Amino acid sequence: MQALIDLFWSKHAELLNAIDRGDTASMARLDRELDPLLKAIFESQASDPASIQAQFQFALDLLNEEADDGGCVRRNGYLLQTLVERYVSPEIQQSGRRREQSEADTGLAISDVTVDGVLDDALLNRISDRVMVIAPGYRVFYSNETNASRHDLPREALIGRHIAELVGIHRFRQEFKENLDRCFAGESAAFTYADQVNGQTVVIHCRMSPCFSGSSQLIGALVVMQETADRRRRSSAA
């Protein structure tokens, strides 16, 4: 796996040099060579944790490298989603089938929908809290339906986006970045802030903890955002 990835980046560097030189013949040739390499990397079914980690890291590196190209971001977000579906979803679905479907939505807490930090997607989509996984590089790796609905977007449209696009660059720099870095280092974090949602002030309690894949590899930070009404405003109105 790593050999394929190294070969891709070598040819990617050649492509950038060809673009700088305006060498259209080399650009066309390298484009033709890069596409099958990309396909081989993402379609390979890895069985060992090191190769799986290499695939995820490659997807994140590609997102960061081509972050200024909207078309590439969408493509790379889709490729990242294929890895999620391949390595995370099978265990998620198996876990979900073991749960009773009659379980009340209001009875679910975040501790009920994760096992040792591994996500249970079926149940995450039944709770009212907003849930994301943010990968190193600060890009969205996973979103539940509640969070996607808050942004009026389908879940797949959030994959690969930088968290600063969703919370604002100021809040990212002042509150999210440092706490996410703590999670990437294996710690947990929590903080509270106020925000405007549909013209109303809400208080958002944000909890972060490390999140792992089924192969026990750290894949990012599990972010749980719980919204409550601003009691101060309600008290003053009364």
Q: Are residues 115 and 232 in the same domain?
A: yes
**Residue 99 covered by a domain:** no
Q: Judge whether residue 212 has pLDDT over 60.
A: yes
**Residue 185 domain boundaries:** 105-237
Residue 169's pLDDT band, with cuts at 50, 70 and 90, is: very high
Q: Are residues 33 and 129 in the same domain?
A: no
Q: Which run of H or of E encompasses 179? A: helix 177-184
Which residue in this structure is represented by tokens 């969703």?
A: 166
**Best CA proximity match to 175, nearest among 206, 202, 147:** 206
**Residue 94 covered by a domain:** no
Residue 35's pLDDT band, with cuts at 50, 70 and 90, is: confident
Instruction: Among 35, 57, 85, give the residue marking a domain's end.
Output: 85
State the average pLDDT for the chain: 77
CATH number for position 179: 3.30.450.20
**Residue 199 covered by a domain:** yes
Using one digit for the tens of pLDDT, what is the confidence trace for 80-127? 777 777 776 544 444 334 443 433 343 344 444 444 445 666 667 777
Provide CB contacts within 8 A for 127, sequence distance 6+: 105, 108, 109, 110, 113, 144, 146
Q: Are residues 230 and 147 in the same domain?
A: yes
**Residue 198 covered by a domain:** yes
Residue 230: what pLDDT? 61
Residue 97: what pLDDT? 41
Enter the tokens of residue 33: 């060579």
State mean pLDDT over 206-234.
76
Which range has highest mean pLDDT (7-11, 75-79, 165-169, 220-224)?
Answer: 165-169
Provide CB contacts within 8 A for 33, sequence distance 6+: 11
Q: Which run of H or of E encompasses 27? A: helix 24-43
**Residue 95 covered by a domain:** no
**Residue 122 covered by a domain:** yes
Q: Are residues 25 and 109 in the same domain?
A: no
Give the relative orientation of helices 24-43 and 49-65 as an angle to the nearest 10 degrees.
140
CA-based Rg of the chain, rounded to a whole angstrom? 20
Cα separation values, 95 from 8, 86, 118, 122, 155, Å: 36, 15, 10, 8, 21
Helix (H, G, I), strand (E, B) or coil at 103: coil
Provide the domain count of the chain: 2
Q: Judge whether residue 177 has pLDDT over 80.
A: yes
Bridge partners (DSSP) of residue 210 are 221
